[in-house]
């Protein structure tokens, strides 16, 4: 399982590649101690190619050796999502992935998510207010209104739902 947060969380002082490699590290106290005592070179050799592949898919390969702090907000969001995808989760939770991301980078984000689903399907739960984006990346949508399920179905069914139209457009 992997997740992102509503607020983008990357390590700004680390390079983009280091952010990706950090995501691939085993977590837990024992793992941290082993990593600190000489396994970092082995870990890097094992995971660097895959980390660089995800940076390329996210159109961030030219920033691999640059600190994440130089990236725009949308690029940081792409880095954060690439870092969770490199871990190959079977369950992915994304909280507002499109928030604050410009349209050009949203297209990249859409392509990354759809490409990941084609290559290695996973259960992906996205909480999102950008309806155009969610319609592009979803097979099934659940619309919530005032804390309750208003409608669920395919993007086409949601767009045609009189209840959704009334609640959000009427």
112-128 confidence digits (pLDDT tens):
999 999 999 999 999 99
- Angle at which helix 103-119 crosses helix 40-57, to 10 degrees, equals 120
What pTM value is reported for the model?
0.86
pLDDT band at 79 (very low <50, low <70, confident <90, very high): very high
> What number is the average pLDDT over the span 30-57?
74
| Domain parsing of the chain, residue ranges | 2-138
CATH of domain 2-138: 3.40.50.300
Closest by CA position to 112, among listed 28, 37, 4, 33: 4
């Amino acid at each position: 399982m992997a997740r992102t947060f509503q607020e983008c969380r990357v390590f700004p002082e680390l390079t983009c590649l280091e952010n990706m490699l950090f995501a691939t590290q085993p977590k837990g106290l024992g793992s941290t101690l082993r990593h600190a005592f000489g396994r970092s070179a082995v870990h890097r050799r094992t995971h660097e190619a895959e980390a660089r592949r995800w940076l390329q898919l996210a159109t961030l390969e030219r920033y691999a050796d640059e600190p994440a702090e130089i990236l725009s907000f949308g690029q940081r969001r792409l880095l954060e999502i690439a870092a969770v995808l490199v871990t190959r989760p079977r369950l992915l939770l994304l909280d507002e992935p499109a928030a604050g991301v410009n349209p050009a980078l949203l297209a990249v984000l859409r392509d990354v998510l759809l490409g990941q689903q084609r290559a290695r399907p996973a259960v992906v739960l996205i909480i999102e207010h950008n309806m155009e984006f969610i319609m592009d990346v979803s097979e099934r949508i659940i619309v919530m209104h005032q804390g309750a399920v208003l409608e669920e179905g395919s993007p086409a069914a949601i767009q045609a739902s009189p209840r959704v139209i009334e609640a959000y457009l009427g």
